[in-house]
């Protein structure tokens, strides 16, 4: 769920940012407002309690230390800490966007005059029946077509990673996918279905990249509130994801490369020639486990060169990659870290810039023939 509002049209985004800066409440009013949106008073005592967002016991603390309804959950974000202000807490606990929340709070009616909300903490999310999840994922994978030269998934990847010479991957398929938001189906879009496997070969989840049905680009999916939604989402999780990856290519001479995202690792492959796997995000990248039985001895880590996080004073992508490198070296693997040259970029960005610069003086017709040859050669 997105609560930042960054997918809004510019005028709505500017209005939201202004209102968020202007919004202030007294300590008493913060507690009243939070309770009116379903946050239990038991969570607002300043002591450790169950988290209203993830439902985990004894991990959430409301401290209002900056006067903004501040809170922290020690294991909310894939087992990592998460913190924010009271507005973010309301948005996450109620699965609503900040824009919608601010519209309600700015609506003019006092909270006490609105329909009463449940004032007890949300129950921990019920874990879906594993048999149901397995049927859902198997059905989605089975109904999708294996990736093929020239299909929409390959054309999308070749648009993001120009000149891509890698052939269709057995870990990727192309299917028609439902997009659900706030428990409602917004429609169907074509999409890349990526098979995320654990080190022992079990299925973890299917990752989906929703595509525009006409052009080789990510789909633009808009919620009823006007928020542009994420075009990349995991489906339901069958088994815990730590350690796994989307195995795009077979290892070569005992070497494999891992990175955060699909386009990123394909860009890294074009730069290095190393076969690559996709770990989906930096947290899972840091937890990657080398599977046994594949003869892997060398691991290349293709890190995103993110901007510095002011809280940690580190680049999150680089930090995750170095954390993985340290662990794998201790386990006896040869590790080769790679980082883009320009801060704020990943290897898809770097490869595309290099490819454009190399082809800038080449006539467009020749470029088109070159890309066609590459696509047909794989």
Q: Which two tokens stand for residue 135?
A: 């049927």
Q: Alpha carbon of 233 to those of 240, 249, 323: distances in Å?
A: 16, 22, 25
Token representation of residue 198: 């654990």
Confidence of residue 330 (pLDDT cuts 50, 70, 90): very high
Instruction: Compare 295 and 47 and report the one with higher pLDDT.
Output: 295
In angstroms, the CA 285 to CA 324 distance is: 7
Tell me the C-alpha distance between 206 and 237, whole Å: 8
Cβ proximity of 34 and 89 under 8 Å: yes
CB 144, CB 170: distance < 8 Å: no
The rounded distance, in Å, linking the Cα atoms of 344 and 367 is: 28
147, burial (CB in 10 Å: exposed 0-12, middle 13-18, buried 19+): buried
| Cα–Cα distance measured from residue 72 to residue 61, given in angstroms and rounded to the nearest whole number | 5
User: Taking a C-beta distance cutoff of 8 angstroms, is the pair 301, 288 a contact?
Assistant: no
Copy the structure tokens of residue 18.
Answer: 């202004």
pLDDT at 262 over 60: yes
User: Cα(331)–Cα(347) distance, rounded to whole angstroms?
Assistant: 26
Quote the pLDDT of residue 255.
98
pTM surpassing 0.75? no
Say whether pLDDT at 154 is over 60: yes
Q: Quote the pLDDT of residue 58.
A: 73
**Cα 335 from Cα 266, distance rounded (Å):** 19
Quick one: pLDDT band at residue 278, thresholds 50, 70, 90?
A: very high
Range list of H helices, the chain: 10-22, 27-36, 86-93, 98-105, 130-143, 152-160, 262-272, 282-286, 316-330, 347-359, 364-377
pLDDT band at 132 (very low <50, low <70, confident <90, very high): very high
Q: Computed over its alpha carbons, how large is the radius of gyration of the chain? A: 23
Residue 23 has pLDDT above 80, yes or no: yes
Cβ–Cβ under 8 Å, residues 300 and 258: yes
Highest-scoring range by mean pLDDT, 11-25, 238-252, 302-316, 347-361: 238-252
What are the tokens at 197?
Answer: 């496997």
Residue-level pLDDT at 123: 47
Closest CA to 97 of 10, 11, 222: 222
Per-residue pLDDT at 64 exceeds 50:
yes
Rounded to whole angstroms, the Cα distance separating 73 from 83 reads: 6
How buried is residue 259: exposed, middle or buried, by Cβ count under 10 Å (0-12/13-18/19+)? buried
Q: What percentage of the chain reaches a pLDDT higher than 90? A: 52
Contact of 47 with 61, CB cutoff 8 Å? yes
Angle CA(225)–CA(31)–CA(105) in degrees, nearest 5? 25
Mean pLDDT over residues 229-247, rounded? Answer: 92
Average pLDDT of the segment spanning 147-172? 95
What sign does the dihedral 114-115-116-122 (CA atoms) show? negative
Task: Give the pLDDT of residue 364.
Answer: 44
- pLDDT tens string 295-311: 999 999 999 999 988 77
Instruction: Return mean pLDDT, the chain.
Output: 85
Residue 47 structure tokens? 């002591």
246, exposed or middle or buried, with CB in 10 Å at 0-12, 13-18, 19+?
buried
341: left (phi over 0), alpha (psi -120 to 50) or beta: alpha
Predicted pLDDT of residue 157:
96
């Amino acid at each position: 769920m997105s609560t930042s509002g960054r997918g809004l049209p510019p005028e709505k985004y500017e209005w939201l940012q202004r209102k968020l800066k202007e919004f202030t409440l007294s300590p008493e009013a913060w507690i009243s407002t939070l309770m009116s949106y379903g946050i239990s008073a038991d969570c607002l005592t300043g002591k450790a309690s169950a988290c209203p967002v993830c439902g985990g016991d004894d991990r959430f603390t409301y401290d209002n230390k900056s006067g903004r309804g501040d809170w922290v959950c020690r294991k909310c974000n894939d087992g990592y800490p998460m913190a924010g202000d009271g507005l973010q807490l309301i948005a996450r606990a109620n699965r609503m966007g900040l824009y919608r929340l601010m519209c309600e709070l700015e609506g003019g009616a006092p909270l006490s005059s609105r329909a009463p909300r449940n004032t007890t903490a949300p129950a921990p999310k019920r874990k879906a029946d594993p048999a149901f999840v397995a049927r859902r994922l198997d059905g989605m994978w089975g109904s999708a077509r294996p990736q093929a030269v020239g299909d929409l998934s390959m054309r999308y990847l070749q648009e993001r990673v120009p000149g891509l010479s890698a052939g269709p991957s057995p870990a990727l398929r192309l299917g028609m996918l439902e997009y659900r938001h706030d428990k409602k189906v917004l429609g169907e879009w074509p999409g890349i279905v990526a098979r995320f496997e654990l080190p022992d070969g079990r299925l973890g989840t299917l990752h989906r990249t929703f595509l525009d049905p006409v052009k080789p680009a990510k789909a633009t999916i808009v919620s009823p509130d006007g928020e542009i939604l994420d075009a990349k989402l995991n489906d339901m999780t069958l088994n815990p994801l730590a350690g796994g990856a989307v195995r795009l290519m077979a290892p070569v001479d005992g070497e494999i490369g891992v990175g955060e995202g699909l386009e990123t690792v394909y860009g890294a492959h074009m730069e290095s020639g190393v076969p690559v796997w996709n770990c989906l995000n930096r947290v899972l990248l840091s937890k990657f486990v080398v599977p046994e039985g594949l003869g892997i001895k060398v691991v290349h880590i293709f890190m995103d060169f993110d901007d510095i996080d002011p809280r940690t004073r580190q680049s999150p992508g680089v930090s995750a990659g170095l954390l993985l490198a340290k662990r794998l070296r201790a386990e006896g693997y040869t590790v080769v870290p790679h980082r883009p040259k320009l801060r704020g970029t990943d290897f898809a960005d770097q490869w595309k810039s290099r490819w454009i610069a190399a082809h800038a003086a080449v006539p467009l017709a020749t470029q088109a023939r070159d890309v066609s040859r590459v696509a047909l050669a794989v």
